[in-house]
């Protein structure tokens, strides 16, 4: 029992990292997702193709594999390219490594962005066609109608699934433990590696995740209710 | 609100039941190893099979090979056991033994007091020590004292991790597998890897010419086969088989095959007192 108490501050350091990386990943993911979602809705065939490729790849492959590619694979390729450029054209050597934190942000936000793109696409498509038609007949361009009429309404529809995405990402960041990123699960594993009290520590880790996810799902419920009354 | 309350209650009850179950102490249902005198017993053995030359996957056949694998298979033959390998991350091995979900583990595991408190160890079968691996282009790290304040990569729950944790100001990154630490070193994410000497040396022999070992050996450690506390019969049979293999020369053969030299005279067995 005393171990559970003593390890709590260390685990909370990990939980802080978990929240930090989740917030960053979802924030960048929203930008990527908005871009990706609009690409998927675009009339341009090439943009639509790009958006589809992005969403299909990052939703269709495991996040764990994406993390391993970014942290272990990408530096190898970048170094090879750089060596080649340096040898052939005398380019300066700029790239040295991808720090684990950066790799964590890149892989998680790319993954999150793909899911968020689908959230935005669905939200925009759920807005009645008449809204766009009405905006266009007022003389707005397609872009203006999107910006001032469709997206503000779509955002409201997107908030509950965005909240779910945040919660899902919070749990998925535990996969970052494999690249040695010291988030909540890794902190727990490090303590188990020293004390061999697997059950108590992992249960404590699970409980901290549970408290965080419950808190956020309550927050999402609250936001959803607030927005509904505003209808 | 009522709905929330009942959900919180349900979670609370679940946690209480789990904790109570843990308090009772686990009585594993796995009796296969102890009972059954008919036919060969099946013994489940855990190993972190990413640790060449002790245990790794042959990339052509997919079979597990290595010094530990050969040794355990030889022990199995002596005892008429059928060995069933269970590959897992190193940090999962002790918990798996504690819960008796495996019958034994052979994974280049150093016998140390913290581990011996929760599992039983066979007599030592290999003498090892910690060494530092750096990139050849790294001129800043020549020995153990140069690790201060440097970025050190280790494997989770290993004696290398124990040692790195003692380096003043060392920034330690912990990887699941030692191969991940080697990759991180080559990728420039860390300055040095602290790990068992024979594994570091084997990595270099495999054609990784851009890295080198510096600073010599830091510790003297002995590997043992780990067995759950509640399976003394298996431990006794492993120990007697190790002695048999020593006496009939098979141990020396396996050792020669993987390390290209004869084992120290006392292995497998306790080291002489002056060590």
Where are the domains positioned within chain B? 41-127+222-259, 130-219
The overall average pLDDT reported for chain B is 89
Interface residue B11 vs chain A (CB under 8 A): yes
CA-nearest residue to A193 within chain B is: B157
Tell me whether residue A231 is in a domain: no
pLDDT over 70 (residue B20)? no
CA angle B73, B78, B79 (to 5 degrees): 95
Instruction: Please give the DSSP secondary-structure letter assigned to residue B110.
Output: B
Tell me the angle at which helices A100-126 and A45-60 cross, rounded to the nearest 10 degrees: 120
For residue A226, what pLDDT band results from cuts at 50, 70 and 90? Answer: confident
Residues from A in contact with B at Cβ < 8 Å = 72, 75-76, 79, 96-100, 177-180, 182, 186, 189-190, 192-194, 196, 198-200, 203, 207, 210
Residue A225 has a pLDDT of: 86
pLDDT over 90 (residue A11)? yes
Q: Which residue has the higher pLDDT, B182 or B38?
A: B182
What's the pLDDT tens digit per position in A85-142? 888 888 887 777 889 999 999 999 999 999 999 999 999 999 999 999 999 999 999 9
What is the rounded distance in angstroms from the CA atom of residue A4 to the CA atom of residue A200?
7
Name the domain count of chain A. Answer: 1
What's the pLDDT tens digit per position in A156-212? 889 999 999 999 999 999 999 999 999 999 999 998 888 888 899 999 999 999 999
**Pick from A131, A127, A115: which is nearest to A156 by CA?**
A127
Tell me whether residue A193 is in a domain: yes
| CB proximity under 8 Å: B 85-104 to A | 91, 94-95, 98-99
Find tokens 């691996």 and name the residue: B133
Residues of A in contact with B117 (CB under 8 A): 196
pLDDT over 80 (residue B15)? no
**Pick from B96, B84, B124, B97: which is nearest to B108 by CA?**
B124
CATH label of the domain that carries residue A192: 1.10.3720.10
Interface residue B175 vs chain A (CB under 8 A): yes
CA-nearest residue to B96 within chain A is: A198
Q: Give the pLDDT mean for B22-43.
A: 56
pLDDT over 50 (residue B232)? yes
Tell me if B41-127+222-259 shares its fold with B130-219: yes
Single pTM value for the model:
0.84
pLDDT over 70 (residue B2)? no
- Cβ distance B156 to A190 less than 8 Å, yes or no, reads yes
Closest-CA distance, B208 to chain A, in angstroms, reads 15
CATH no. of B41-127+222-259 = 3.40.190.10
| CB proximity under 8 Å: B 107-146 to A | 114-115, 117-118
Both tokens assigned to A172: 């998925």
Interface residue B173 vs chain A (CB under 8 A): yes
For the ranges A74-78, A140-144, B42-46, B235-239, the lowest mean pLDDT is seen at A74-78
For residue B32, what pLDDT band results from cuts at 50, 70 and 90? Answer: very low
pLDDT over 50 (residue B162)? yes
Share above pLDDT 70 across residues of chain B, in percent, rounded to a whole number: 85
Q: Give the pLDDT mean for B234-250.
A: 97
Tell me whether residue A156 is in a domain: yes
Q: Give the pLDDT mean for A66-82.
A: 90
CA angle A150, A154, A159 (to 5 degrees): 160
> Which of B130-152 are b and which e, b meaning 16 or more Cβ less than 10 Å from the residue's Cβ?
bbbbbbeebeebeebebbeebbb
What's the pLDDT tens digit per position in B78-110? 999 999 999 999 999 999 999 999 999 999 999
Find tokens 């959230």 and name the residue: A119
What's the pLDDT tens digit per position in B33-54? 444 456 789 999 999 999 999 9
CATH no. of B130-219 = 3.40.190.10
3-state secondary structure of A72: helix
Tell me whether residue A120 is in a domain: yes
Integer CA distances (angstroms), B35 to B25, B42, B101, B122, in order: 21, 11, 16, 21
The strand pair at B171-175 and B226-228 is best described as unpaired
């Amino acid at each position: 029992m005393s171990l559970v108490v003593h390890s709590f501050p260390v685990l909370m350091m990990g939980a802080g990292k978990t929240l930090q990386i989740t917030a960053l990943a979802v924030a960048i993911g929203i930008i990527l997702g908005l871009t990706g979602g609009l690409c998927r809705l675009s009339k341009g065939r090439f943009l639509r193709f790009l958006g589809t490729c992005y969403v299909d790849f990052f939703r269709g492959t495991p996040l764990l594999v994406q993390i391993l590619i970014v942290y272990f694979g990408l530096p190898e390729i970048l170094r090879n390219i750089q060596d080649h450029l340096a040898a052939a054209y005398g380019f300066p050597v700029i790239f040295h490594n991808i720090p684990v934190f950066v790799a964590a942000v890149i892989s998680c936000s790319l993954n999150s962005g793909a899911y968020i793109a689908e959230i935005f696409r669905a939200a925009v498509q759920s807005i009645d066609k008449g809204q766009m038609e009405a905006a266009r007949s007022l003389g707005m361009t397609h872009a203006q109608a999107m910006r001032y009429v469709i997206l503000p309404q779509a955002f409201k529809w997107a908030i509950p699934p965005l909240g779910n995405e945040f919660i899902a990402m919070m749990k998925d960041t535990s996969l970052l433990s494999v690249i040695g990123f010291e988030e909540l699960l890794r902190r727990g594993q490090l303590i188990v590696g020293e004390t061999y009290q697997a059950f108590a520590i992992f249960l404590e880790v699970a409980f901290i995740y549970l408290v965080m996810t419950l808190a956020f799902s309550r927050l999402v419920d609250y936001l959803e209710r607030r927005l509904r009354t505003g209808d | 609100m009522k709905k929330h309350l009942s959900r919180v209650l349900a979670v609370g009850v679940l946690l209480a039941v789990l904790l109570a179950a843990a308090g009772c102490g686990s009585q594993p249902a796995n009796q296969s190893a102890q009972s059954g005198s008919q036919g060969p017993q099946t013994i489940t053995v855990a190993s972190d099979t990413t640790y060449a030359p002790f245990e790794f996957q042959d990339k052509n056949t997919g079979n597990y090979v290595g010094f530990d694998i050969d040794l355990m298979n030889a022990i199995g033959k002596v005892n008429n056991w059928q060995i069933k390998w269970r590959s897992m991350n190193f940090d999962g091995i002790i918990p798996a033994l504690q819960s008796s979900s495996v019958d034994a583990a052979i994974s280049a595991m150093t016998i140390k007091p913290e581990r011996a408190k929760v599992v039983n160890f066979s007599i030592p079968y290999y003498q090892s020590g910690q060494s530092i691996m750096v990139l050849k282009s790294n001129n800043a790290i020549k020995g153990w004292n140069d690790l201060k304040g440097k970025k050190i990569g280790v494997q989770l729950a290993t004696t290398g991790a124990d040692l790195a944790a003692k380096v003043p100001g060392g920034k330690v990154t912990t990887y699941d597998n030692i191969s991940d630490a080697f990759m991180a070193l080559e990728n420039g994410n860390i300055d040095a890897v602290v790990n068992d000497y024979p594994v570091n040396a084997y990595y270099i022999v495999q054609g990784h010419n851009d890295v080198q070992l510096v600073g010599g050996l830091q510790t003297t450690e002995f590997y043992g086969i780990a067995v759950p506390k509640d399976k003394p019969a298996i431990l006794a049979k492993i120990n007697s088989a190790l002695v048999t293999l020593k006496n009939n020369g098979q141990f020396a053969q396996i050792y020669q095959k993987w390390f290209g030299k004869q084992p120290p005279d006392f292995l497998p067995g306790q080291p002489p007192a002056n060590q």
